[in-house]
Amino acid sequence: MINDARLRWIGWALAAWTAVVVVRLVQVQVLDHRQWESASARQREGTIEIEEPRGDIVTRDGRLLAGSLERVAVYANPHQIPRKVWPEVASGLAGLVGEPAAAVQAELAAHDGFFYVAKDLDPRVADAVARLHQRGVGTLPTERRVYPNGALAGPTVGFLDSEGRGQAGLEAFYDRTLRGVPSVYHVLRDGKRSPTPLDLRLETPGRPGQSLVISIDCRIQQVVEQELAATVAKTGARGASAVVMDPATGELLALGSVPSYDPGEIGQSAPSARHNRAVEDALEPGSTFKPFIVAAAVTSGVLNPFEMVDCSGGGVQIANAFIRDHARYGLLPVREVLAKSSNAGAIRIAYRVEPDRLDEMIRSFGFGRPTGVGLPAETRGIYHGPRFWSALSRAGLALGQEISVTSLQLAQGYAAIANGGVLVHPRLVLDTRDRDGRSVAPAQPLPGTRVVPAALANQIATMLEAVVEEGTGKTAAVPGYIVAGKTGTAQRASRGSYTAGRHVAWFAGFFPMPDPKVVMVVCVDEPVSDYWAADVAAPAFGKIAARIVTLLGLVPEGGGRA
C-alpha cells in the first residue's frame, strides 16, 4: 500500500512535469512561434532563380556581335507523377525533347526530385508540354547565346562557360551588366522536400541584362582581320595584332588578334588562340620607340629638333659594348635619324637626357601601366625605372629594348603625337542600353593629359612623314595620302636574353597628314619567311590603311603625296 508521502512525491513530480510541458508549449507556440514557422516553411518551401535575357553586344555601325535567342527548358518532378503513368509521360515528352521514350523514363527513375529533362528547346515546345496536362511536368524560360558574326572580333567579344558566365573579353569584364538580375520564384515542396507540380510564384522580379554599344566599326574590323590573317599566312608568323584608334577621342575602331576564335564554337579553338594579343601580349617595341626618346630630349632642352646629330662610326660604344648601326651615316638631322632609324643617333640622343627625365617622359606616354580599356587580362607591359637601370639601359631604351609594350599601349602613345601632344584614354564601350534601347549609362570619356607641347608633337609627326616618304617605312605608303609612322624590328626576348631567329615586326603610324584621323599599330609576332618590319609590318599597315581611307571617306591630302 502506497503511503501518503510517496503519493505526495508522485503528485509533485507530475505537477512539475506538467509545468515543464506547459512552459515548453507556451515557448514553442507563443514565444518562438515565428522561428518555428520559418523553419517549417524552409522545409516545405524553397526558391529557384531564373536567369533573365542577357544583353547584346553591338558595334557602332549596328552589327550584332553577341545576342541571345529565347529558348525553353522542360522539367519534371517524378514525386508528383504517379509511377503507373511514367510510360505515358515519357512517350509524350520523347518527341518534344528529341530523346527516346525509354531514355526519358530512365531519367524519371534516376531522379528523386526536380530535374531538367532537356534545355535549349524551341519556345513552341512550351505549348505542347502544357497540353500534356501532367502534374510535375512543365517548362521554364531559358536562352542560348549566339554570335552571328562568328570569329569576327572574337577575342574582344569573349565567350561564356556552360553556366552562362563570361570567361573572356567583354563577356567577362561586363558580365554583371550583361547578365542582369535573375528572377526569384517561390517553390512549394512536399513531405519529401521535392517541388510540387511546380507551384511557382514570382517572389522577386529580375531585370534583363543591359546591352553594350562598342566603338568597333565592323567594316574596319573585318579589313584588319583579313589583312592580318594574310600576313600570318604569308610569313608563317606565330600570330599578329593590330589596333585602329581615333587619336582625338581614343575610340577603338578595330582590335585585331590573329589567330582568332568563334565564341559560339569555343571548344573547337586552340587554347593559344583564346587570348587578345592586342592587350595581352607585351613585346619589345624596337625602333617604334625612338620618337619618344626624341620627345624626352627636346622637352628636356638637350636637343633642338632641327640640329644635326652625330651618327658616324657605324655604331656607338657604351661601357663594354659596341652597338652597331645600319650604316655609317655621319651627321644627320633629327628627321633623318628617325627616317633611317639610326641606332647610333638615337642612342647618343638618349644619353643626353637625365635618367629621371627620360623615365618621366616614358611613363607620361602611358607605358608601364594598363590603359584601363575594359578587357580582362590586359597587361601593364614590362618597364622598370632608373633604380634598376645599368650603364646600357638608356641605349637599350633608345632601341626599344628593356621595355615591353602592348599594341594598344603603343597606339595610345602614338595617338598623343598625332593629336598634338595629349594622352587620351582608349575607349571601347560607348553606351549601355536597357532592353528597350534606352541609354542608361553612356560612357563618359576621361579627360586627356598633355604630355608634350603641341608644337613638339607636330614636329615629331612631321619627322615621321619622312620615314614613309624616304626611309624604312616606304611600304606603308598609301597613294594620295600623307602617312606618318615608324618601323620597328625587335628580337624576341625570353628569360632575360634574346633567341636567335625569333623577331617581332612593328609599324606604328597615323594618317592622313597634316590632320590625322586614324592611328594604327600593326605587330607581327615571330614571322619566319622574313622578319624585317619594312618587309612585314609596314606592308600590312599600308594595305589596311588603303582600305580604311575609303571606308571612312577620308579625302586625299597634300596633292597626292604618299
Please state the domain extents for the chain: 48-93+114-214, 218-428+445-560
Q: How confident is the model at residue 196 (pLDDT cuts 50, 70, 90)?
A: very low
Within 10 Å of residue 122's Cβ, how many Cβ atoms?
Answer: 12
Residues 360-373: pLDDT tens digits?
999 999 999 999 99
Q: Per-residue confidence at 79, pLDDT binned at 50, 70, 90? A: confident
Q: Would residue 529 show up in a list of annotated catalytic residues for this protein?
A: no
**What pLDDT does residue 25 have?**
61
Q: Mind listing the pLDDT tens digit for each residue in 442-476? A: 888 889 999 999 999 999 999 999 999 999 999 99
Q: Give the model's confidence band at 390: pLDDT under 50 very low, under 70 low, under 90 confident, else very high.
A: very high
Reported as a single tens digit per residue, the pLDDT across 212-257 is 999 999 999 999 999 999 999 999 999 999 999 999 999 999 999 9
DSSP state of 81: S
CATH number of 218-428+445-560: 3.40.710.10
Task: List Cβ neighbours of 171 (8 Å cut-off, separation of 6 or more).
Answer: 57, 66, 157, 158, 159, 160, 178, 263
Q: Which helix (H) or strand (E) holds 310?
A: strand 308-311
Spatial distance between the Cα atoms of 216 and 189, rounded to a whole number of angstroms: 50
pLDDT, mean over the chain: 89
Q: How does residue 492 score in pLDDT terms, banded at 50, 70 and 90?
A: confident
Helices (H), 180-320: 218-235, 277-280, 290-299
Decide which of 3.90.1310.10, 3.50.50.60, 3.30.110.40, 3.40.50.720 is the CATH code for 48-93+114-214: 3.90.1310.10
The grid cell for 52 is: 533573365
- The yes-or-no verdict on residue 348 having pLDDT over 80 is yes
* pLDDT tens-digit series, residues 36-57: 555 544 444 567 777 888 999 9
Between CA 199 and CA 224 the distance in angstroms is 53
Instruction: Give the whole-angstrom CA distance, residue 516 versus residue 415.
Output: 9
pTM of the model: 0.85
Mean pLDDT within 423-440: 95
Q: Taking residues 168-183, report their average pLDDT.
A: 93
pLDDT of 267-280, one tens digit each?
898 888 889 999 99
Cα–chain center distance at 402: 26
**pLDDT exceeds 90 at position 428:** yes
Active-site residue, selected from the candidate residues 68, 211, 257, 287 = 287
Confidence of residue 176 (pLDDT cuts 50, 70, 90): very high
**For range 293-300, the mean pLDDT:** 98
Whether the per-residue pLDDT at 283 is higher than 70: the answer is yes
From CA 372, how far away is CA 419, in angstroms rounded? 20
Residue 448 CB contacts under 8 Å (≥ 6 apart), including other chains: 250, 422, 423, 424, 425
Q: What pLDDT, in 10s, does the model give residues 313-323?
A: 999 999 889 99
Per-residue pLDDT, 560 = 45
Residue 403 pLDDT class (50, 70, 90 cuts): very high
Do the domains 218-428+445-560 and 48-93+114-214 match in fold? no
Q: What is the mean pLDDT of residues 255-266?
A: 96
DSSP 8-state symbol, 166: B
Residue 559's pLDDT band (cuts 50, 70, 90): very low
